[in-house]
Amino acid sequence: MRSDFSVSWELSRGRFDQEVLAMSQEQLNFRLYLGALTIGEMAIHVAGVEIWFLSQLQGTPVPENLERVAKTATEGVVNDNPFPYSAEEITPALVAEALATAAAQVKEVIYEPSEALLQKEIKSALGPIITGRGALARFAFHPGYHHGQAYQIKCAPGFPV
């Protein structure tokens, strides 16, 4: 059975992935203006939010090899700390790996979420406490939000071809 969350997530995440996974390192790291996220940073952030939320929903620690990705849920995005990855590190391979890893984890819960998962309370990336239902709603919306930003960046003067 497919939940409404999964239908929306597949659409928004699929379009986001299709857009960013075709980009070069130069395109991923193009910064529209000082303080703006690059498309590569957005992509790792999307994966980071999914990984961080899922660890909270499942009551398990973020795996050590994904701790840095999970930090992108907040670091350098919703606060003034530096983003956890440098432009040199943000490669098409890193973006693809982060997105694929997070997607595999999301697929474990989004199709048939249990009532307990939907009711579980977690801390959102912006700070408020939300339920699992709210987390899955964010999964469905979040990549679409950043897909729109990525499109705007791609249309900007100076974007690498």
- Could you tell me where the DSSP H helices lie in 21-131? 25-28, 39-58, 67-71, 92-110, 115-119
Residue 160 lies in a domain: no
**Structural domain includes residue 29:** yes
pLDDT tens string 119-131: 999 999 888 999 9
Q: What is the rounded CA–CA span in Å between residue 26 and residue 55?
A: 32
Band of pLDDT at residue 1, cut at 50, 70 and 90? low
Cα 45-143-52 angle, rounded to 5 deg: 40
With contact defined as beta carbons under 8 Å apart, do 53 and 139 qualify?
yes
82-110 residue pLDDT tens:
999 999 999 999 999 999 999 999 999 99
pLDDT given for residue 44 in this prediction? 98
Query: CATH number of the domain that 33 lies in?
Result: 1.20.120.450
**pLDDT band, residue 146 (cuts 50/70/90):** very high
Tell me the residue range of the domain where 52 lies: 4-154
Residues 50 and 17 sit within 8 Å (Cβ to Cβ): no
Is 92 within the bounds of a domain? yes
Number of domains in the chain: 1
Query: Using one digit for the tens of pLDDT, what is the confidence trace for 26-72?
Result: 999 999 999 999 999 999 999 999 999 999 999 999 999 999 999 99
